[in-house]
Structure 1
């Protein structure tokens, strides 16, 4: 897709009748008196919808799934799920795809990327590693909404940069153990994710370049990603960064107040492990990128701007914009034709990332 005009970007923020009908009939409601209830209110409706997904559960005759413990730099471990094509690797070997789940750095688990990993293993012959990184347990606005659950793994000390470092450790572990995983990362190495996972993917694609990872990340899948914090928007493009406050019709995010993501994750404002847009080393030599972005999403404009800065640095990109639809719409409303199209586009985009 060529660079989007501003008119095309702004026009994508008009709600489609199909989507409005869907979310008015079945609103996304995430709430609770404590964090456990809040997590459940998000996870339970998604679980009830998975029978509508193109792949609704394990497909053991086509994709083998195994759980592994990955050691981390601080002496603990995290869980990953590995997906391998039962038929064996394609000619040249199975590329390696790393996936990092969404959830705003305070929710989410392996089930969030099950569908993508099964599709990529089955349709692309890839070995996929689905990473359950540690993320923050934090109080949200209003502060009294949640009580601290000390028995939960969602502890306050799991703030930035623990999650992104976990994902880097999992990436290096996957490369080191690629023979055991049936992967040939020199055939292609993609990292990806949605929302918070998209932020991690963008950050680690640049980290791969900077630390000369061998083999390097060759493609990044950035799905409705967080890539430009509202605290760090350069003055000369601030007039193009509007969707965080103007996109108030999104039924999932319902608009982001300034600093809301930052307060949850607790990042260092100028760290390259948080802000890929303003990376001090620039973007030249970064892996090619595939974007999927939604017109109603408060995160829309930062993805559009990141696509532009990558292209201006000579990075090859592919950009799909879903006008009139909101953040994570395809998971919350999988019955829509637009959601089915989105999922098909995901596989096409990953196939493009893996092309030599």
Structure 2
């Protein structure tokens, strides 16, 4: 597979301090032309997937060039700490700490959150994203997050689904042995991350203060994903119950992670443009 074209993009590694006195690696991506002009761009903070046990910060590179060139976006991809060395809730805490630090130090990476402050991620990274956006609302983060991007998100454990949602949560039982993410894979990830299966820091769909103040949210959902229905339930809650703007792209017949692990598929190539359009939509929703 060809590496992403990063010509004209300045890539830099930074360290972000964490609450336990350590620091985590992050990669920043911004256009070289914006550096020359001194123009600050919207901020996009990204959390990679990988079941809380693997995945590089470089996973964001498929879209950073187009985002920088089309919207002037500065992408910061967070290399949060992973299991088994760092178990739950380290990934969630690292995500919260990273976004708080970037909110206070955005200019140092060439960003201006007043032009847009988007947080997003894939799979486990989308789980971290949802935790971060809820924590930010509760804490009154300033500047506020203006958009959330949830790509094939993990939002609730199958044993934690409330009774009122169970009739709408069928994907886990319907897709036990799909490629890329099966029940065995989920069990493996959980055995290493060691989450509290009742905690909202693992199940952001159960956030105690609710979801009414969440930012506009863009969803990408795979049809053969055992996690699929958690995303559909959350999208319904945001849009139908709280009037929060949402945008949804559904990849029918595609397993969890299929557009990332199988880039040669037509749907995977289409997903690159959909992501760019979805992020642009989130920017357009900024109040």
Match of residue 80 from structure 1: 26
Pick closer, same or farther for the CA change 1:214–1:103 going to 2, 3 Å. same
Deviation at 1:75, TM superposition (A): 1.1
Cα offset, 1:260, TM superposition: 5.6
Whole-angstrom distance in 1 between the partners of 2:91 and 2:271:
27
Instruction: Provide Cα deviations, 1:124-149, integer angstroms capped at 9, x if missing partner.
Output: 21111100000111xxxxxxxxxxxx
Correspondent of 2:135 among 188, 203, 207:
207
CA distance in 2, matches of 1:66, 1:215: 23
Cα distance between partner residues in 2 of 1:173 and 1:237:
36
**1:134-173 correspondence to structure 2 within 5 Å:** 134-137=81-84, 155=85, 158-173=86-101
Cα distance, 1:334 vs. partner? 1.0
Distance 1:328 1:131 in 2: 19
In structure 2, the partner of 1:123 is 70
Q: Which residue of 1 aligns with 2:237?
A: 309
User: TM-score of the superposition, structure 1-length normalised?
Assistant: 0.75
Task: Look up the SS of the partner of 2:280 in the other structure.
Answer: helix
Cα distance change, pair 58–343 in 1 and its aligned pair in 2 (3 A):
closer
Q: Give runs of aligned pairs for residues 90-105 of structure 1, distance below 5 A.
A: 93-105=40-52
Consecutive unaligned residues of structure 1, counting only runs of 5 or more, are 1-48, 138-154
Out of 161, 170, 176, the position equivalent to 1:242 is: 170
| Cα 1:187/1:130, change in 2 over 3 Å | same
Please list every run of at least 4 consecutive aligned residues from structure 1 whose deviation after the TM superposition is greater than 6 angstroms: 89-92
Counterpart CA distance in 2 for 1:172 and 1:344 is 29
- For the residue of structure 2 that corresponds to 1:88, the secondary structure is helix
Structure 2 length as normaliser, TM-score?
0.92
Could you report, residue by residue, the CA deviation over 1:82-106 in whole angstroms, capped at 9, with x for unpaired residues?
0012221899841100000000001
1:35-66 deviation digits (Å, cap 9, x = unpaired): xxxxxxxxxxxxxx3x1xxxx33523x21100
Q: What is the deviation of 1:220?
A: 0.5
Q: Aligned partners of 1:258, 1:57: CA distance in 2, in Å?
A: 29
From 77, 97, 104, the counterpart of 1:176: 104
Q: After superposition, what is the alpha-carbon deviation per residue over 1:256-296, rounded to whole angstroms, capped at 9, x for unaligned?
A: 58866543322233333221111111111111100000101
Q: Which runs of 5+ in 2 are unaligned?
A: none
